[in-house]
A and B are shown apart, each in its own frame.
Chain A
Amino acid sequence: MKTTPAPGPREKATEGRVLNIFSHGMLILWAFMVVLPLLWAVMTSFKTDKEIFSSPWALPDSLHFDNWSRAWTEANMSDYFLNTIIVVGFSLLGTMLLGSMAAYVLARFEFPGNRFIYFLFIGGMSFPIILALVPLFYVMQNLSLLNTLPGLILVYIGYSLPFTVFFMTAFFRTLPSSVAEAAFVDGASHTRTFFQVMLPMAKPGLISITIFNFLGQWNQYMLPTVLNTEPDNKVLTQGLVQLAVSQGYKGDWSGLFAGLVMAMLPVLAAYIVFQRQVVQGLTAGALK
């Protein structure tokens, strides 16, 4: 059913050109809107407080690196960084180990309760975390884990498990069973088969989900805000927010901007270097 004839070559060309200008225009506009706030923050982090207030869009008259050193030492950014690295490092390790162990068992063994446990895990993906946080606060208090880094690590692991188990179960199901059986026939125990044969085979899946969990845990804000109010134990995100609140009275805006940029740059740099893996990890991770 052809009602209109195909456009001739000439019409085609003009349609292409108008559309091309339009699409480029829109695309450039959005790229600009994404980059501008980030560049503005970097620029502002080199200014004096006076410049920030009098001319927010002008370039700094000279580069005030002292903002950065002040943020790093006096505003405790170094401590926040260290806390974040400790918490994320251990939670990531725990999440990946425990998550793939559970996923492996659920994906490859038949036993009573298998389906139930699987749905128990993946059910956690859709319920609002904040609902569980109120009693969790008191569970942590009773276990003396409130406001401690190990407590925060355990909670991060708990809340990362649903997605990790979901994703890794699907992944382990796709691996061929012949290799595992061969290893088992050769006398390897189940545990050994898992660590020496199956886990290495699952490497692509492990990388994707590690990146997904890394970004999620590094950027976590709600869990530490509620469960970790000890000033010495603050992680990067809550430390910065805390700083912003107190700066309202102290007025070291340039130091605060330096801190903000300091927290942004490592992830942005890592993203630019490992862009392909990050995009694959996040997109595979988010919507499988």
Chain B
Amino acid sequence: MQHGKYRFIVGFLTAPLAIYGLFVIWPFIQSIYYSFTDWSGLSPEFKMVGFKNYTRLLDDEVFWKSLQHSVMLVVLLPLVTLTMALFFAFMLNVGGRRRKNAAIAGVRGSAFYKVVYFFPQVLSIAIVALLFQFAYNPNSGAINSALKAIGLDSVQPDWLGDPDLALWCVFAVLVWCTVGFFVVLFSAGMASIPKDYYEAALLDGANRITTFFKITLPLLWDTVQSGWAYVGILALGAEAFAVVQIMTVGPNGGGPDYSTTVLPLYVYQKAFRDGQAAYATTIGVALLIVTLLFVAVVMKLGRRERLEY
């Protein structure tokens, strides 16, 4: 297999590497370089300013708010989403009435639930965000009208307009979008756990809660861990950006009094609204550090003996 091997390798790698290098790697390296300059992005001129952008970050109140919100999302979103998904997946697979000859059984209609729960996953996050923006509308939105219909006329929150509530409204939409995917994923994992494990546990008198913590969760841990990393990256990146930018009020989004702003949105605003490209890349570097820290924590906390079965 040596004949023409190198010519072939070069021929097959050139185009993919060129596109990837030019549009992904090169801008990425450049952005770290620009974070040490005073480039506005509007004119080609700039000079090196050392760590000036980084010291400016320390005094930037909006940056700290964005950081705080991003950190909150990256901690809470995986926690809430994965807990809910594990709960539903366990219900689907083990929550059913015990039938003859089977130690455990799924609920009736579990295939149907899996289909329905997956709906949000195929929809665009932008479309979902728009839809919920209408639902949250304080005067004629679906949620407040529903509250009114059940006699809660006095409870008519401002939702996205209320600085204390806005971020939670955004959070709920992100949960709504992500849970179903993991229900399906964890269900597939649970289905591959041998039934005899459950039978043995039930013979020993274990109830379902014990079997979940002693059998299901440990055997599913690899999937949970990669899911955790996956949701965290969504919470720090494009999904959070889209939801906050579309749903929340204020110039270009960010919520009343920056109550929902997140790091990727702040990068976007500084670069493309305020014409401070260099400073935007500095915020981007901060986001990169948060992302890397998060991935490191997941790897560290998630490490366990791999269970073979």
A→B interface (CB under 8 Å): 2-7, 12-13, 15-17, 19-20, 22-24, 26-27, 30-31, 33-35, 37-38, 40-41, 44, 52-57, 98-99, 101-102, 104-105, 109, 111, 117, 120-121, 124, 126-139, 154-155, 157-159, 161-162, 165, 181, 184, 189-191, 194, 215, 218-222, 225-226, 236-238, 240-241, 244, 257, 260, 263-264, 267-268, 270-272, 275, 278-279, 282-283, 286-287
CB-contact partner of B124 in A124, A127, A219, under 8 A: A219
CB-contact partner of A99 in B16, B146, B245, under 8 A: B16
Task: Indicate if the CB atoms of B123 and A136 lie closer than 8 Å.
Answer: no
Task: Indicate if the CB atoms of A222 and B26 lie closer than 8 Å.
Answer: no
Assembly CA distance A129 to B274 (angstroms) = 20
Task: Indicate if the CB atoms of B135 and A40 lie closer than 8 Å.
Answer: yes
Mark contacts of B98-127 with chain A using CB atoms, 8 A cut-off: 1 yes-contact digit, 0 otherwise. 100000000100000111111111111111
Assembly CA distance A194 to B13 (angstroms) = 14
Give residues 118-156 of B contacting A (CB, 8 Å).
118-127, 130-135, 139-142, 145-146, 149
Assembly CA distance A132 to B306 (angstroms) = 36
CB-contact partner of A126 in B139, B227, B291, under 8 A: B291
Contacts of A105 on B, CB cut-off 8 Å? Answer: 8-9, 12-13
Task: Indicate if the CB atoms of B20 and A124 lie closer than 8 Å.
Answer: yes
Contacts of A7 on B, CB cut-off 8 Å? Answer: 205
Task: Indicate if the CB atoms of A287 and B205 lie closer than 8 Å.
Answer: no
CB distance from A119 to the nearest CB of B (A): 12
Interface assignment of B5: CB less than 8 Å from any CB of chain A: yes
Assembly CA distance A136 to B264 (angstroms) = 15
CB-contact partner of A263 in B25, B117, B124, B246, under 8 A: B124
Assembly CA distance A284 to B5 (angstroms) = 31
Q: List 7 A-B contacts (CB under 8 A).
A: A26-B91, A27-B92, A31-B117, A57-B145, A98-B19, A159-B24, A218-B124
Task: Beyond A19-B208, A41-B131, A220-B124, list 6 extra A-B contacts (CB 8 Å).
Answer: A15-B207, A31-B116, A128-B291, A190-B1, A222-B242, A287-B227
Assembly CA distance A260 to B22 (angstroms) = 35
Task: Indicate if the CB atoms of B16 and A98 lie closer than 8 Å.
Answer: yes
Contacts of A226 on B, CB cut-off 8 Å? Answer: 268, 272
CB distance from B39 to the nearest CB of A (A): 9
Task: Indicate if the CB atoms of A283 and B115 lie closer than 8 Å.
Answer: no
Task: Indicate if the CB atoms of A101 and B107 lie closer than 8 Å.
Answer: no
Task: Indicate if the CB atoms of B119 and A139 lie closer than 8 Å.
Answer: no
Task: Indicate if the CB atoms of A127 and B28 lie closer than 8 Å.
Answer: yes
Task: Indicate if the CB atoms of A35 and B116 lie closer than 8 Å.
Answer: yes
Contacts A35-B119, A102-B17, A109-B9: A4 and B284 contacting too (C-beta < 8 A)?
Answer: no
Assembly CA distance A15 to B295 (angstroms) = 41
CB distance from B304 to the nearest CB of A (A): 17
Assembly CA distance A171 to B207 (angstroms) = 40
Assembly CA distance A64 to B292 (angstroms) = 51
CB distance from A152 to the nearest CB of B (A): 11
Task: Indicate if the CB atoms of A275 and B115 lie closer than 8 Å.
Answer: yes
Contacts A26-B91, A111-B6: A37 and B142 contacting too (C-beta < 8 A)?
Answer: yes
Assembly CA distance A23 to B93 (angstroms) = 10
Interface of A is mostly: helix
Contacts A127-B28, A134-B41: A268 and B116 contacting too (C-beta < 8 A)?
Answer: no
Interface assignment of B73: CB less than 8 Å from any CB of chain A: no
Assembly CA distance A157 to B31 (angstroms) = 20
Contacts of A104 on B, CB cut-off 8 Å? Answer: 12
Task: Indicate if the CB atoms of B124 and A237 lie closer than 8 Å.
Answer: yes
Contacts of A268 on B, CB cut-off 8 Å? Answer: 119, 122-123
Task: Indicate if the CB atoms of A117 and B184 lie closer than 8 Å.
Answer: no
Task: Indicate if the CB atoms of A135 and B13 lie closer than 8 Å.
Answer: no
Instruction: Spot the interface stretch: B57-65, B75-83, B160-168, B231-239.
Output: B231-239
Assembly CA distance A154 to B145 (angstroms) = 45
CB-contact partner of A241 in B34, B130, B285, under 8 A: B130
CB-contact partner of A159 in B23, B96, B107, B208, under 8 A: B23
Contacts of A220 on B, CB cut-off 8 Å? Answer: 124
Task: Indicate if the CB atoms of B180 and A215 lie closer than 8 Å.
Answer: no
Contacts of A31 on B, CB cut-off 8 Å? Answer: 113, 116-117
Task: Indicate if the CB atoms of B288 and A127 lie closer than 8 Å.
Answer: yes
Contacts A30-B117, A102-B13: A130 and B267 contacting too (C-beta < 8 A)?
Answer: yes
Contacts A2-B204, A27-B88: A189 and B4 contacting too (C-beta < 8 A)?
Answer: yes
Assembly CA distance A15 to B116 (angstroms) = 28
Task: Indicate if the CB atoms of A135 and B117 lie closer than 8 Å.
Answer: no
CB distance from A92 to the nearest CB of B (A): 14
Task: Indicate if the CB atoms of A139 and B288 lie closer than 8 Å.
Answer: no
CB distance from A60 to the nearest CB of B (A): 14
Contacts of B281 on A, CB cut-off 8 Å? Answer: 131, 134-135
Using CB atoms, name the residue of chain B closest to A143: B22
Assembly CA distance A278 to B202 (angstroms) = 35
Contacts of A3 on B, CB cut-off 8 Å? Answer: 205
- Max chain A C-beta neighbours (<10 A), residue from B91, B126, B245: B126
